[in-house]
């Protein structure tokens, strides 16, 4: 399962779901779905999210079993 | 709020029930005016809502005429995913409902008046309820 830190990073940078959605061109609902893990974003959308937070993809998204291996 | 009303599957459920009643009414010889005026008034209210919504939200306009049902949300990949999940469940429902409907028709069409039309209305209601239950939590609080 794909995990992510989008909620945490959004809180860090003080963005609302709507604001983050506008920055990457999606709706507030899609941000909510990604944060809850209900939807796994496309590579393109994940890269846009990474770009907003100025981090690499791996610092935001990871596979659950890989995390456990750490 | 207006967008939620216009995109609500409950609106389509109401239209289906109304059409079912119109069919029965025409067959039974009810007054045409009694059947027509509610349609005309609903039609005018609906398009007034679309007009007001589009005036207030020029960036989220609802098309006047489209072949894509209003309740389908395809604004971005997340909403397309939700629509995919909901329509998949509706497809599964119909793959069972159609053969079961044929069997029910075989046994009940002579027993229950207007069985066919009520069965179609029932299928439509279930279809919209499945879609609504799948999407309501995601779209909740939207505006």
Q: Residue B114: what are its φ and ψ, rounded to 5°?
A: 55, 35
The rounded distance, in Å, linking the Cα atoms of A68 and A64 is 6
Q: Is residue A63 part of a domain?
A: no
Residues of B in contact with A39 (CB under 8 A): 77-78, 81-82
* Min distance A39 CA to chain B CA atoms (Å): 7
- Quick check: is A41 in a domain? yes
Integer Cα distance of B126 and B87 in angstroms: 12
A47 touches chain B (CB under 8 A): no
> Quick check: is A62 in a domain?
no
Closest alpha carbon within chain B to A22: B76
Does the residue A67 lie in any domain? no
Is A57 part of any domain?
no
Residue A8 falls within a domain, yes or no?
yes
Between B47 and B139, the higher pLDDT residue: B47
The span from the CA of A26 to the CA of A8, in Å, is 19
Flag whether A47 is in a domain.
yes
Q: What are phi and psi of A2, to 5 degrees?
A: -85, 125
Residues 55-94 of B with CB under 8 A from A: 75-79, 81-82
- Provide the token pair at B18: 């109304």
A34–chain B Cβ distance below 8 A for any pair: yes
Terminal Cα-to-Cα distance of chain A (whole angstroms): 16
Host domain of residue A6: 2-52
* Nearest chain B Cα distance for residue A30, angstroms: 5
Residue of B123, B85, B32, B80 whose CA lies nearest to A29: B80
Could you tell me if A49 lies within 8 Å of chain B, comparing CB atoms? Answer: no
Tokens of A65: 């079993």
What CA–CA distance (Å, rounded) separates A2 from A26? 19
pLDDT-above-70 percentage for chain B: 97
* Whether this model's pTM surpasses 0.90: no
Q: How many domains does chain A have?
A: 1
Interchain proximity B81–A45, CB inside 8 Å? no
Q: Are the Cβ atoms of B76 and A41 closer than 8 angstroms?
A: no
**Using DSSP, how many helices (H) and how many strands (E) does chain A show?**
6, 2
pLDDT at B87 over 90: yes
Read off the pLDDT of residues B88-140 as tens digits, 9 standing for 90 and up.
Answer: 999 999 999 999 999 999 999 999 999 999 999 999 999 999 999 988 877 66
DSSP state of A25: T
Establish whether this prediction's ipTM goes over 0.90. no
Is A32 part of any domain?
yes
**Residue B71 C-alpha from the chain's centroid:** 9
CATH number at residue A45: 1.10.260.40
């Amino acid at each position: 399962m794909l995990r992510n830190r989008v909620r945490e990073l959004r809180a860090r940078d003080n963005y609302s779901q709507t604001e983050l959605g506008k920055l990457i061109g999606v709706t507030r609902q899609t941000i909510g779905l990604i944060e809850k893990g209900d939807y796994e974003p496309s590579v393109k959308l994940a890269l846009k999210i990474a770009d907003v937070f100025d981090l690499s993809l791996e610092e935001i998204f990871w596979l659950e079993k890989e995390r456990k291996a750490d | 709020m207006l967008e939620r009303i216009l995109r609500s599957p409950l609106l389509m459920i109401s239209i289906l029930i109304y059409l079912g009643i119109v069919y029965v009414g025409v067959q039974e010889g009810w007054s045409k005016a009694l059947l027509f005026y509610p349609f005309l008034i609903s039609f005018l209210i609906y398009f007034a809502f679309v007009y007001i919504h589009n005036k207030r939200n020029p960036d989220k306009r609802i098309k006047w005429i489209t072949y894509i049902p209003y309740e389908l949300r395809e604004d971005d990949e997340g909403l397309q995913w939700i629509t995919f999940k909901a329509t998949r469940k509706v497809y599964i429902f119909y793959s069972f409902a159609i053969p079961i409907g044929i069997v029910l028709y075989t046994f009940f069409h002579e027993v229950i008046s207007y069985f066919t039309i009520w069965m179609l209305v029932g299928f439509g209601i279930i279809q919209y309820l499945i879609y609504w239950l799948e999407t309501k939590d995601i779209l909740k609080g939207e505006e």
